[in-house]
Chain A
Amino acid sequence: MNSDNKKEDMEQPKILTLDDDFSLIKQFIDGDDNAFKVLVNRHKEKVRNIIYLTLMEPDVIDDIAQDVFITVFKNLKHFRFESQFTTWLYRITVNKCKDYLRKKNVRKIFSPIKDEEEDIAAFRINEDPDIKEIVRNAISKLPDKLRIPLVLRDMEGFSYQEIAETLNCEIGTVKSRIFRAREALKKILEPLEKELFV
């Protein structure tokens, strides 16, 4: 009976609230592993989206998402209930993405130049990309510092406050970075202005 109820929970997630997350975490700390499953089910899509938007690499999403939740599982017992669970979760997610990017950059230094050329070639093969893809490509060319706040705001609908907490920085910084990101993006898309902005 009990497990059936939980199944219903998983199938029809309620609106996320502070209290719901907190109570689930308390259940988990009390030894209920199913509570953790519910938490994962509630937040996995958001986490996966953040990873995708931050990295723009569909292939690594699930691996990093798994890694994020393993870290959550290991550290959830030490959760302090001082901030929202999502803030904590997204911060872990963004940090994992940053780790990945750092490692990737290191790999790039030691890998032959040929690989990069192949990337560009693969990018050019798609001869008839739609507008969405063009924009995504343009966004992916932005530096990490500008891209991440922008996608969190425009694609995930984060408030400046949430972005600041996730990225562990000031609201003013978020504001400035989002503006600079938009300016930079506009420049990248300028050659396609007519097609895009009609």
Chain B
Amino acid sequence: MKNNRYEIEMLSAYLDGELSPKEKIYIEEKIKSSLELQRKLDELKKLKAITSEAKPDLTESYYFEARLMASLNSSESKSEKIKKWIPAFTFTSLAVALIFVLSLNPSFLMNIIEQQKGNLADFYKSNLKPLLYAANLTSEDIFNFALYEELPLDPSNSQTLKLSYDQTGKEFFEIRQNTEKKEQNNLQNFVAALELNESEQKQMDSLLKVYSEKISAQVLVSDKNAIAINPNIWNLRKAVLADILSFARKHGNENFQKIAPVGNIPSFDKNIVWLERVNTTSPKDFIICTPDTVFSAELNFDMAQLNSEMKKVAEEMKQVADEKKKRQLVFNFKIDSSLAGLKDKIKSDKNFKVFVHNNGVQIHLQEVNIPEVDLPNFDSIASIISEATRNFTVVSVGSPELPEVPETRNFVIKKEGTLNTSLRNREVNIDSVIEENNKRIEINNKKRQSSKRIYNDSSANEVKTMVDSLIIKQNEELRRQIEQLRKEIEKFRQDLQNLNNRQKIEEYEEIIKLLEEQIEI
């Protein structure tokens, strides 16, 4: 069988004419003598014939060479090779060029950045308006600013600027959405508490008016959502408070002592107008806060011209009775913000640390110099006054409303009768005020020891009282829980006495004792 298979395989090669002459002779002899091989050869011949005939007719391939040459050209063209290297070449040459330029002029990049900053600064500075006209600052706003360090940035009072000091005494300000509504009668209450007469009230009002103009020139806002703040505002704030208190002390006398029963109020000359000290040292660099960035830049404008413009507009506003027309009045003062003057004067952003929280933005000043002005620290008194004015408002709720009260400055006098009663009532709260005051002074003194700078401590106090009240609340809760536990133990003991098993009762008694000991602790 094996031989047979070998011969059949030879037959296949024989058919193909691939045998050596010897093999050929051998197989031909075998075929002659074997019918099976003859049959097999016949089969293979037929098979070979049909296989050869089955060769397909291939259709001609048109443009075969043309296509081939095209693809050879596209894959091998020199331009293709160059194209591959173009990006690498471009980047390398750019890098080399940049290195070359920087080696010649190291400040090249910085100049470009500064120029861009200049453009940005120009964009935001182009439309700045003094706050007085942007937010319609009233005497009440200025008074509140003196006490609470907070200024409204728009007429609807939805955004406010809050000045503060951090723990190290460094200034920072906050622009935040105003969610809580403040009592709006602080000034009125204050005036009432001092029992000022009409002319004194007018003096007070004009004092606040002057500050209103000064302050609004220190805080400029634009409709592009930018705000420019002069660092001098911190000093102005202290000055306005000092002047208010100085005025109050001068005219309020005993009443002032009642609402601010502070033993060691910093002594000062009653005739000093603090504003004059601050006014002389107003720096030209403003801190400009925009939605994108915070930077300090010089805003050059003539303060005198600004003031005269502001007065002019104020006059016009008085004449225009219609509220709608008031809003249409355009403030006609343009700040000199030519780009050329700006380029070198814009300070680095490193001067500020910005913290954004969900209700606004906090900007901490790092290297901005606020001019040093020798002003007394009235912040502790400010907190007392704010507390006191709050007390007045609580008490004066019961006063009957007078029917036809015109909207003028004089309305306070017409309320005189009711105000007097409120003044008498306010003594109810005086103890708490003194207590609070002592705490504040103590904390204030401690802080003064650690830092020579003047800063506000009212926020720290607020936090402290909050923490205190929280602890008291927690203690009450604990006491209540312990009481409940005691009751349960008593009940358990009664249940035990009904049981018969002595040993168990003793065990439980021990557990109860342990529990009671724990409660005592």
Asked whether, in the complex, the Cβ of A65 is within 8 Å of the Cβ of B64, the reply is: yes
**B80 shortest CB reach to chain A, Å:** 14
Asked whether, in the complex, the Cβ of A61 is within 8 Å of the Cβ of B69, the reply is: no
The interface of chain A, by Cβ under 8 A from chain B, is: 37, 40-41, 44-45, 48-49, 52-53, 58, 61-62, 65-66, 69-70, 73, 131-133, 135-136, 139, 150, 153-155, 159-160, 175-176, 178-179, 182, 185-186, 189, 196-197
Asked whether, in the complex, the Cβ of A69 is within 8 Å of the Cβ of B46, the reply is: no
Asked whether, in the complex, the Cβ of A69 is within 8 Å of the Cβ of B68, the reply is: yes
**Contact partners of B69 in chain A: CB under 8 A:** 37
Q: A53-B55, A197-B47 are in contact. List 12 more A-B contacts (CB 8 A).
A: A37-B65, A37-B69, A41-B65, A48-B61, A58-B58, A66-B71, A131-B50, A131-B53, A132-B53, A159-B18, A175-B12, A178-B12
Q: How distant is the Cα of A167 from the Cα of B263 in the complex, in angstroms?
A: 114
Asked whether, in the complex, the Cβ of A70 is within 8 Å of the Cβ of B58, the reply is: no
Q: Of all chain A residues, which has the CB nearest B5?
A: A179
**Contact partners of B50 in chain A: CB under 8 A:** 131, 135, 196-197
Known: A44-B64, A52-B58. A154 touches B9 (CB 8 A): no
**A167 shortest CB reach to chain B, Å:** 15
- Partner pick for A176 among B9, B51, B55, B58, CB 8 A cutoff: B9
Asked whether, in the complex, the Cβ of B61 is within 8 Å of the Cβ of A62, the reply is: yes
- Partner pick for B64 among A62, A160, A185, CB 8 A cutoff: A62
Instruction: Report B38-83 residues with CB < 8 Å from chain A CB.
Output: 43-44, 46-48, 50-56, 58, 61, 64-65, 67-69, 71-72, 75
B356 at the interface (CB under 8 A from A): no
Dominant SS among interface residues on chain B: helix
Q: Of all chain A residues, which has the CB nearest B17?
A: A159
Number of interface residues of B (CB under 8 A): 28
Q: How distant is the Cα of A49 from the Cα of B57 in the complex, in angstroms?
A: 9
**A159 shortest CB reach to chain B, Å:** 7
The interface of chain B, by Cβ under 8 A from chain A, is: 8-9, 12-13, 16, 18, 43-44, 46-48, 50-56, 58, 61, 64-65, 67-69, 71-72, 75
Q: Of all chain A residues, which has the CB nearest B15?
A: A182
- Partner pick for A154 among B46, B48, B72, CB 8 A cutoff: B48
**A131 shortest CB reach to chain B, Å:** 7
Q: Of all chain B residues, which has the CB nearest A174?
A: B18
Asked whether, in the complex, the Cβ of B9 is within 8 Å of the Cβ of A40, the reply is: no
- Partner pick for A153 among B16, B44, B64, B71, CB 8 A cutoff: B16
**Contact partners of A37 in chain B: CB under 8 A:** 65, 69
**Contact partners of A135 in chain B: CB under 8 A:** 50-51, 53-54
**Contact partners of A73 in chain B: CB under 8 A:** 72
**Contact partners of B64 in chain A: CB under 8 A:** 40, 44, 62, 65-66
- Partner pick for A132 among B46, B54, B58, CB 8 A cutoff: B54
**Contact partners of A154 in chain B: CB under 8 A:** 48, 51-52
Asked whether, in the complex, the Cβ of A48 is within 8 Å of the Cβ of B65, the reply is: no
**Contact partners of B47 in chain A: CB under 8 A:** 182, 185-186, 189, 197
Q: How distant is the Cα of A185 from the Cα of B47 in the complex, in angstroms?
A: 8
Q: How distant is the Cα of A139 from the Cα of B72 in the complex, in angstroms?
A: 35
Q: Of all chain A residues, which has the CB nearest B8?
A: A179
In the complex, 25 of the A-B residue pairs with CB atoms within 8 angstroms, ordered by the A residue number, are A40-B64, A40-B65, A48-B58, A49-B58, A52-B56, A53-B55, A53-B56, A58-B56, A62-B61, A62-B64, A65-B61, A66-B64, A66-B68, A66-B71, A70-B71, A131-B53, A139-B54, A160-B16, A175-B12, A176-B9, A178-B16, A186-B43, A186-B47, A197-B43, A197-B47
